[in-house]
Structure 1
């Protein structure tokens, strides 16, 4: 493809549509509907989402994290509070999420304010994690520069020994966040790039306004 190898990559989406008459009035219910359809088809890591944050100065950053719960409050994920995203959320507690399910030619975006989950909620999830992941939470000084892979392996061995024959406690620097959405967008690919985009905005009375956006 030469110099145009990126420009020449394209698909003509044909799998479906999203009309206002078909969409649920509550975007969280609509998300559950789409997510259930994705899970039913066995899509791997359907809960993978891009998480965009920004520093107090407005410098953006984005990475993939895993959704671990969704209820009427919003989206929950877990991480090291001292990681880059943790530091940015402490400075600027606003974020945006994006899910992309290419098998269905769909994406969902959400944005809102972010707060820490309670210690009890974080601990309830931490106890469900595989032991290796619990040890990893202690061993990784997430986002910090380290000398090499051996530094990480040495830290893992240290905490395996420290917690041998006992339950691994939750690190004080680790836990969950809740993104409370104030807006959603549901995107369904359509032929000719005339995609469906339904935008939900939370009103002051906590009901949702639905509007169609031009693609």
Structure 2
């Protein structure tokens, strides 16, 4: 265990002080990933569960985080969206191969407010905003041409002015109750530190785990 004067850069090499805070540490690791990963350092695997209890996982992009949680956006009518809203909980995993690091997060999910969703939606490329209207995400598509027709329809509909955010498209915030940091070490004697809390009203407890 390193002492409390360890610099932030040294912390990101896999050591954790007693004063380490999970969101601060995650921010340091994400910043390091931005410098070393070739593509999408904010990519994560998102795990959900369907109504039959069968797990489902896919890659999505983190669009923001703070001490309230980790935010991404989706079509609520998609399989992902339906599973999230039905179960009310999810898990995330970030893996940065270039850094030999992983972060696993579990918790409940809440929908971001309209103002936050609108702000992010308007920051997207115009084609991506059209796509949110045109894609009936996760549902059967008879041909690529059918999708292109939908894109053309909404491109014409919103030819002038701002494109409003669809009601079925918004953001999800995963509010964590568990954040585990993993860092590769020689001979598979890895560093694993997990922060847990029973609720957002309580402080974090930090434990080291056997690799």
TM-score in terms of structure 1 length: 0.88
Contact 2:93 2:105 survives alignment (8 Å): yes
Q: Name 2:48's counterpart in structure 1.
A: 53
Q: Name 1:206's counterpart in structure 2.
A: 202
Aligned structure 1 segments of 4 or more residues deviating by more than 4 angstroms: none
- Superposition deviation, residue 57 in structure 1: 2.8
Pairs aligned (count): 199
Take 1:99 and 1:41, find their aligned partners in 2: how far apart are those partners? 14
- Show structure 2 runs of 5+ residues with no match: 1-11
- Show structure 1 runs of 5+ residues with no match: 1-15
Q: Name 2:123's counterpart in structure 1.
A: 128
- What's the RMSD between the two structures over aligned residues? 1.5
Tell me which of 84, 93, 96 is aligned to 2:88. 93
Q: Name 1:195's counterpart in structure 2.
A: 190
- Superposition deviation, residue 58 in structure 1: 1.5
Structure with higher RCO (Cα < 8 A, 6+ apart): 1
Take 2:147 and 2:42, find their aligned partners in 1: how far apart are those partners? 27
TM-score in terms of structure 2 length: 0.90
Contact 1:25 1:208 survives alignment (8 Å): no
State the secondary structure of the residue aligned to 2:123: coil
Take 1:84 and 1:202, find their aligned partners in 2: how far apart are those partners? 29
Tell me which of 102, 106, 109 is aligned to 1:111. 106
Matches within 5 A, 1:28-39: 28-39=23-34
Q: Name 2:163's counterpart in structure 1.
A: 168
- Per mean C-alpha deviation after superposition, the further-off stretch among 52-61 and 105-114 is 52-61
Alignment pair present for 1:20 and 2:16 = yes
For each residue in 1:128-156, what CA deviation from the matched residue of structure 2 results, as whole angstroms up to 9, or x when unmatched? 00000000000100000010111111100
Q: Name 1:4's counterpart in structure 2.
A: none
